[in-house]
């Protein structure tokens, strides 16, 4: 009996050392992303529903990387084929990889979803008549105002024009006895992530003055050159210089951006809707409201940029990846994206304000005179944004540009030359 028991224990021990042949592990999908709030949305909302619909999938792993690290990773991983099942990429970063053939084209089902969304998305997701990727987290630029500071300054209405905004910012700027800013009237984007620096200058200054970063060649369709080496570009840079050195509503040493707004250290901030969650968390006592971009000297404008989901060529689970993308982009999931992230609902018939915090909802009003811009399908564009964003902080530190038209024109010309050189480097330049 003892001998039989010993033999049984030996057999059990041997069996335990080897996997059971009939046990089958589920499929694990992989996603790369650069947005922490999106990571939470995938984990807590999209993935549980996806696994419920696809029991053969045991999990979805999301690898988060900071933006700059992620951009470098894309440049290495996609050409090498070392890719996940799904990639979340901002549209402008994705263009070189779309045109290079690194993503699977959309299926008819994914294109049907895209057809129900705002047409701007199809414009920035299509190349040579084929669409790649689907929006899952669009965002636009809006303004945030501290209502208590407006009231303190005797301002009863939210600024409607750039002149109104400047007037309000001047009145709400607070300095100490030595003249140092304690509270900026308007927190300007003066540095940081270069693309983000360019985006703010693009929508507030360039678009507001009626010019864009680029123009298409009149004689060479599909070729481009700088669009702001002109009066509009001059007025755009002059606006920034005047805000800093004439009106003195901000400076380089002041606390910046959403952190400053949540701390009560600025009265006006310009940011995407998702930053409202940081304000709510870090500045619960701040009395604030959001609003559309003000009317500039020429027009009222904002941009519409989106994080898209792409299925890379060479992924291990292409069909399941497409199913995940389809679910994430569905109406039901986009409604949750709006509620949880302060996002923009991409569907054409959606009520853009529905589901938002009442303080944030006014930022989703789209006045009839508001012109919406999207990023172009150009291989050069992201590099241009980075290069301009690297130049701007150095230019804006030049206080000698105040009341110096020739100096401002010279700086605009330098930026224009950089834009044109990038177009030439990518073979996309045309006069």
> Is pLDDT at 58 greater than 70 in this prediction?
yes
The C-alpha angle with vertex 197 and arms to 192 and 199, in degrees rounded to 5, equals 145
> Do both 236 and 272 map to the same domain?
yes
- Cα–Cα distances in angstroms (integers) from residue 392 to residues 231, 268, 396, 413, 426, in the given order: 18, 21, 6, 13, 22
Convert the pLDDT of each residue in 127-159 to its tens digit.
899 999 999 999 999 999 999 999 999 999 999
Q: Summarize the confidence of residues 117-126 as an average pLDDT.
A: 84
> Is pLDDT at 22 greater than 80 in this prediction?
no
The domain total for the chain is 2
> Do both 223 and 326 map to the same domain?
no
> Do both 320 and 196 map to the same domain?
no
Q: pLDDT tier at 122 (50, 70, 90 boundaries)?
A: confident
> Do both 243 and 108 map to the same domain?
no
Q: What is the pLDDT of residue 193?
A: 86
Q: Summarize the confidence of residues 95-114 as an average pLDDT.
A: 94
- This prediction has a pTM of 0.90
**Is the residue at 19 inside a domain?**
no
> Do both 203 and 106 map to the same domain?
no
Q: What is the pLDDT of residue 16?
A: 42
Q: Summarize the confidence of residues 183-208 as an average pLDDT.
A: 95
Convert the pLDDT of each residue in 404-414 to its tens digit.
999 999 999 99
Q: What is the pLDDT of residue 37?
A: 84
The CATH number assigned to the domain holding 286 equals: 3.40.190.10
> Do both 125 and 39 map to the same domain?
yes
> Is pLDDT at 187 greater than 60 in this prediction?
yes
> Do both 276 and 333 map to the same domain?
no
Q: Please provide the size of the chain in residues.
A: 431
**Is the residue at 357 inside a domain?**
no
Q: What is the pLDDT of residue 126?
A: 87
> Is pLDDT at 11 greater than 70 in this prediction?
no
> Do both 115 and 245 map to the same domain?
no
Q: What is the percent of the chain with per-residue pLDDT over 90, rounded to a whole number?
A: 87
Q: pLDDT tier at 7 (50, 70, 90 boundaries)?
A: very low
Convert the pLDDT of each residue in 156-174 to its tens digit.
999 999 999 999 999 999 9
Q: Summarize the confidence of residues 30-50 as an average pLDDT.
A: 94
Q: What is the pLDDT of residue 25?
A: 67
Compute the mean pLDDT over every residue in the chain, rounded to the nearest whole number: 92
Q: Please state, in angstroms and rounded to a whole number, the distance separating the CA atoms of residues 28 and 9.
A: 35
Q: What is the pLDDT of residue 13?
A: 41
**Is the residue at 349 inside a domain?**
no
Residue 321: domain span: 27-140+305-341
**Is the residue at 351 inside a domain?**
no
> Do both 47 and 149 map to the same domain?
no
- Cα–Cα distances in angstroms (integers) from residue 48 to residues 41, 153, 336, in the given order: 10, 49, 13
Q: Please state, in angstroms and rounded to a whole number, the distance separating the CA atoms of residues 416 and 420.
A: 6
> Do both 106 and 72 map to the same domain?
yes
Say which residue, 257 or 18, is predicted with more confidence: 257
> Do both 116 and 190 map to the same domain?
no
**Is the residue at 212 inside a domain?**
yes
**Residue at which a domain ends, from 341, 358, 388:** 341
Convert the pLDDT of each residue in 337-380 to its tens digit.
999 989 999 999 999 999 999 999 999 999 999 999 998 989 99
Q: pLDDT tier at 1 (50, 70, 90 boundaries)?
A: very low
**Is the residue at 219 inside a domain?**
yes
**Is the residue at 222 inside a domain?**
yes
Q: pLDDT tier at 123 (50, 70, 90 boundaries)?
A: confident
The three state secondary structure string of the chain is CHHHHHHHHHHHHHHHCCCCCCCCCCEEEEEEECCHHHHHHHHHHHHHHHHHHCCCEEEEEEEECCHHHHHHHHHHHHHHCCCCCEEEEEHHHHHHHHHCCCECCCCHHHHHHHHCECHHHHHHHEECCEECCEEEEEEECEEEEEHHHHHHCCCCCCCCEHHHHHHHHHHHCEECCCCCEEEECCECCCCCCHHHHHHHHHHHHHHHHCCCCEEECCCCCCCEEECCCCHHHHHHHHHHHHHHHHCCCCCCCCCCHHHHHHCCCECEEEECHHHHHHHHHHCCCCCEEEECCCECCCCEEEEEEEEEEECECCCCCHHHHHHHHHHHCCHHHHHHHHHHHCCCCCECCCCCCCCCCCCCHHHHCCCCCEEEECCCCCCCHHHHHHHHHHHHHHHHCCHHHCCCHHHHHHHHHHHHHHHHHHHHHCCCECC
Q: What is the pLDDT of residue 6?
A: 44
> Is pLDDT at 319 greater than 60 in this prediction?
yes
**Is the residue at 11 inside a domain?**
no
> Do both 111 and 207 map to the same domain?
no
């Amino acid at each position: 009996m003892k001998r039989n028991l010993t033999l049984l224990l030996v057999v059990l021990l041997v069996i335990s050392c080897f996997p059971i042949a009939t046990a089958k592990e589920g499929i694990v999908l992989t996603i790369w992303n650069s947005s922490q709030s999106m990571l939470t949305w995938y984990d807590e909302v999209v993935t549980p529903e996806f696994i419920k619909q696809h029991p053969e999938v045991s999990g979805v792993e999301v690898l988060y990387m900071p933006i700059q690290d992620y951009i470098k990773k894309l440049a290495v991983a996609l050409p090498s084929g070392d890719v996940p099942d799904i990639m979340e990429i901002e549209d402008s970063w994705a263009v070189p990889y779309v045109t290079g053939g690194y993503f699977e084209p959309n299926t008819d089902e994914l294109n049907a979803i895209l057809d129900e969304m705002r047409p701007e998305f199809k414009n920035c997701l299509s190349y040579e008549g084929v669409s790649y990727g689907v929006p899952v987290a669009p965002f636009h630029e809006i303004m945030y105002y501290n209502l208590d500071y407006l009231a303190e300054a005797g301002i009863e209405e939210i600024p409607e024009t750039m002149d109104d905004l400047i007037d309000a910012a001047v009145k709400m700027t607070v300095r100490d006895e030595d003249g140092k800013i304690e509270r900026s009237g308007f927190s300007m984007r003066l540095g940081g992530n270069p693309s983000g620096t360019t985006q703010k200058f693009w929508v507030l200054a360039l678009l507001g003055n009626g010019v864009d970063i680029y123009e298409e060649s009149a004689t060479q369709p599909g070729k481009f050159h700088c669009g702001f080496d002109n009066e509009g570009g001059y007025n755009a840079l002059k606006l920034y210089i005047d805000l800093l050195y004439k009106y003195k509503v901000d400076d380089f040493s002041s606390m910046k951006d959403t952190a400053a707004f949540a701390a009560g250290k600025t009265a006006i901030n310009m940011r995407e809707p998702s930053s409202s969650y940081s304000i709510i968390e870090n500045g619960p006592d701040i009395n604030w409201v959001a609003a559309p971009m003000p009317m500039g000297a020429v027009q009222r404008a904002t941009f519409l940029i989106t994080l898209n989901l792409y299925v890379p060529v060479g992924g291990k689970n292409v069909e399941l990846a497409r199913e995940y993308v389809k679910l994430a982009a569905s109406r039901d999931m986009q409604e949750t994206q709006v509620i949880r992230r302060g996002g923009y609902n991409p569907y054409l018939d959606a009520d853009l304000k529905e589901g938002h915090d009442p303080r944030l909802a006014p930022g989703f009003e789209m006045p009839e005179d508001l012109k919406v811009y999207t990023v172009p399908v150009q291989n050069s564009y992201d590099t241009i944004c980075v290069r301009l964003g690297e130049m701007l902080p150095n230019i804006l530190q030049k206080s000698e540009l105040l009341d110096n038209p020739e100096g401002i024109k010279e700086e605009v010309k330098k930026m224009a030359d950089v834009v044109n050189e990038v177009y030439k480097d990518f073979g996309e330049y045309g006069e």
